[in-house]
Structure formats: C-alpha cells, structure tokens
C-alpha cells in the first residue's frame, strides 16, 4: 500500500470534522466521529479510520445516516439502558453511552447499554480504549441485522455479519485491547482486496458452492454470493459460529430488534458493558493479576526468533505515540477519495505535517 507524506493528528481531525459538518452532520457529532476515526488511524486500523468518511458522507447525502438528534430511550433501569439510535452516527452514540456509563458505574459497579438501529460504529478497539484510559473494563459487540456476509457453520448461504466484539482492560504497561470478529476476515478487507484485484494469502472465504477460496470477489460479485469463513475455518468453524450467535443474542435479542424485523438500511445493533474493577475484588488486585498474565505472555519464548510475543493493544499503543510526534500516513487511495469529498463540499484541503 502506497503511503503519502504524514499529516498531523490535529490537521486530520480538523479536516475530518469539516468534511462531516459540511455534509450536514451536526457539529458536536462530527467532532466526536472525527476524533475517533482519527484515533483509529493513529492505531493504524486504517480500514476503519478516516477511509470510512466517503461512505459516511454518502449515507448522509442519501438520508441513511441521521444528521442530528438524540437517541430514544426505550428502557432505563439505572444499571441497564436500551436505546433506539434512529441511525444516528454510531461512534457518537457509543461515545455518549460510555459517558453516561462513566457517571453511573461508581454506583452500580456494572452498567450495560444496548442499542437498536445505531449506524456503523467503526473500530471497536478505539471505543473501548475510552474506558481503559479511565481504569475500567469495557466489553463491546455489534452486528448489522440488515447484512448477510457470513454463512452458519455447515452452510453456504450468508446469514449473519462478521459480528465483531471487543474487550479492553487497563494495565500498568498499557491497555489490552482485544478486537476480533466471528469471521476470519472482514467485509472491509474483502472489498479492499477485490477493488485492488488482489487475492487473500489464505482461503478465508467460501464460494457459493461451499468451497474454501482466496478470491475476495465471491463475497459480492458472484450470484449467488459466497461468504466469509467463520473463525476456525472449514474444520473448526463451529467456534466462530458460536461467537457469532453470542453477538446476535447480545446485540439483537437484548435490544428487541434484529433480523426478524428485516431492516434494509446499513446500521448496527450494539451491546456495551462497562465494569468497574473496584466493585469486584478491587482495582489493585485486578491490575496485579492481569499484569502478571500479560508479563508471562510477553516473556514466553517466541516461536519466531526476534519476534517477541505482544499483547493486543501493545502495537496500537506504540502507534498512537508515534502518530503524536510523526503524524499519520494514509494510503494514496484514501487521500484521493477524501480530496474529492473536500472539493465537492468546498472544504479546505488536507495539509501535510
């Protein structure tokens, strides 16, 4: 992937916010979405960073992402919260739910929020990091009841989405940020490779006959469509299947809206749980236990000489620090698309660091 000169964190945040505001997103929401997409690029999760802005602008232009307003409170017990997001920007909705949970978790110990009809929530790791920065544990999952990209284990017809889920927890050497999905790869990665005419290195999809394949085009460019392979692959995909069903239950079953309702718009159902370690055996004990496990993993003899074991979040932490001093490098394809959006919307172009 070709990268152009770096841009500063501040400039990319400004530019992203200006684009979203110019497309009609309310300023407070545009600020939150821009901040979190830029953080995602700082972590080098580029498929879910500012590369999503052209897609979001298209959704705004076609009135498929709601530009302003508040979520509808369906139920609120204090420690549990159910919202109808009415397709408001997903990053803003989750950020808002987190801030409410931060206020309540000292009283309740655990606060759980579920949402129906949120819009896309992008990088889960960037969201749970908001909690780990404050010393909390966060669990986050999302599904799209309108999407069908993943076949159930033993099947060949897509039924579910990759159903990503994440957990973040604090540690002395930095947060652990686990962000994975029930499928081996993602829709975004398959689309990126299909557009570039590049196959996967491994058979991470199945074609419409159920045969494993490296060709990303089977996901959307064949009739019938193929499927992303579940975590565990052709042999052990029952494990990914179980994880996918878990996410469906947490995001759709608990929110009271899902595939049964046959929604037609790209969006997300969300499960968010915030836990205060102090409400359990205590924050000090939590950090001591998890530091011990983390240190043992990092000290494990590497399978490949010179490539030490790292925990999920270690590299992201280093990438964030580097981005703060050296800026962020985006792909030429992303910069070209963002520049086209800026020209259309009359937004000042992005300046290199």
Is 1 a domain residue? no
Q: Which domain holds residue 15?
A: 9-183+230-284+314-345
Q: What is the pLDDT of residue 188?
A: 86
Per-residue model confidence as pLDDT tens digits over 283-336: 999 999 999 999 999 999 999 999 999 999 999 999 999 999 999 999 998 999
Q: Over 86-135, what HEC string results?
A: CCCCHHHHHHHHHHHHHHHHHHHCEEEEEEEEECCCCCHHHHHHHHHCCC
Whether residue 3 is predicted with pLDDT greater than 70 in this model: the reply is no
Number of domains in the chain: 1
Is 206 a domain residue? no
Per-residue model confidence as pLDDT tens digits over 21-62: 999 999 999 999 999 999 999 999 998 999 999 999 999 999
Is 215 a domain residue? no
Is residue 352 very low, low, confident or very high in pLDDT (cuts 50, 70, 90)?
confident
Q: What is the pLDDT of residue 2?
A: 52
CA distance 347 to 341: 8
The overall average pLDDT reported for the chain is 96
Is 188 a domain residue? no
CATH number at residue 243: 3.30.1370.60
Is 86 a domain residue? yes
* Cβ neighbour number for residue 176 with a 10 Å cutoff: 22
Q: Please check whether residue 311 is in contact with residue 317, taking contact to mean a CB–CB distance below 8 angstroms.
A: no
Is 205 a domain residue? no
Is 331 a domain residue? yes
Nearest alpha-carbon partner for 80 in 29, 118, 50, 115: 115
Is 28 a domain residue? yes
Per-residue model confidence as pLDDT tens digits over 157-206: 999 999 999 999 999 999 999 999 999 999 988 998 999 999 999 999 99
Query: Model-level pTM?
Result: 0.95
Length of the chain, in residues: 353
């Amino acid at each position: 992937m070709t990268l152009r000169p770096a841009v500063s964190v501040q400039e990319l945040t400004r530019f992203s916010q200006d684009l979203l505001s110019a497309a009609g997103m309310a300023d407070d929401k545009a600020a939150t979405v821009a901040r979190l997409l830029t953080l995602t690029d700082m972590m080098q999760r580029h498929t879910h960073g500012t590369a999503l802005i052209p897609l979001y602008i298209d959704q705004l232009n076609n009135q498929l992402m709601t530009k302003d307003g508040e979520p509808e409170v369906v139920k609120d017990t204090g420690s549990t919260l159910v919202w109808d997001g009415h397709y408001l920007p997903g990053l803003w909705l989750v950020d808002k739910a987190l801030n409410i949970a931060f206020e309540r978790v000292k009283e309740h110990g655990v606060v759980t929020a579920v949402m129906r009809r949120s819009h896309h929530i992008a990088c889960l790791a960037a969201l749970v990091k908001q909690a780990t920065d404050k010393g909390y544990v966060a669990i986050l999952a999302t599904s799209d009841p309108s999407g069908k990209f993943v076949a159930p284990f033993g099947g060949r017809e897509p039924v579910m989405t990759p159903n990503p889920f994440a957990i973040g927890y604090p540690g002395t050497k930095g947060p652990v940020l686990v962000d994975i999905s029930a499928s081996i790869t993602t829709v975004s990665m398959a689309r990126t490779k299909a557009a570039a005419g590049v196959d996967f290195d491994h058979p991470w999809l199945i074609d419409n006959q159920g045969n494993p394949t490296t060709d990303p085009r089977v996901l959307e460019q064949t009739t019938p469509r193929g499927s992303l392979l579940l975590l565990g692959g052709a042999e052990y995909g029952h494990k990914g299947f179980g994880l996918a069903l878990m996410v469906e239950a947490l995001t759709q079953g608990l929110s009271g809206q899902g595939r049964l309702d046959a929604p037609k718009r790209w969006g997300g159902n969300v499960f968010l749980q915030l836990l205060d370690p102090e409400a359990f055996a205590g924050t000090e004990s939590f950090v001591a236990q998890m530091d011990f496990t983390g240190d043992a993993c990092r000290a494990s003899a590497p399978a490949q000489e010179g490539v030490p074991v790292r925990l999920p979040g270690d590299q992201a932490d280093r990438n964030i620090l580097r981005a703060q001093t050296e800026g962020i490098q985006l792909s030429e394809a992303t910069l070209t698309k963002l520049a086209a959006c800026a020209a259309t919307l009359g937004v000042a172009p992005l300046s290199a660091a």
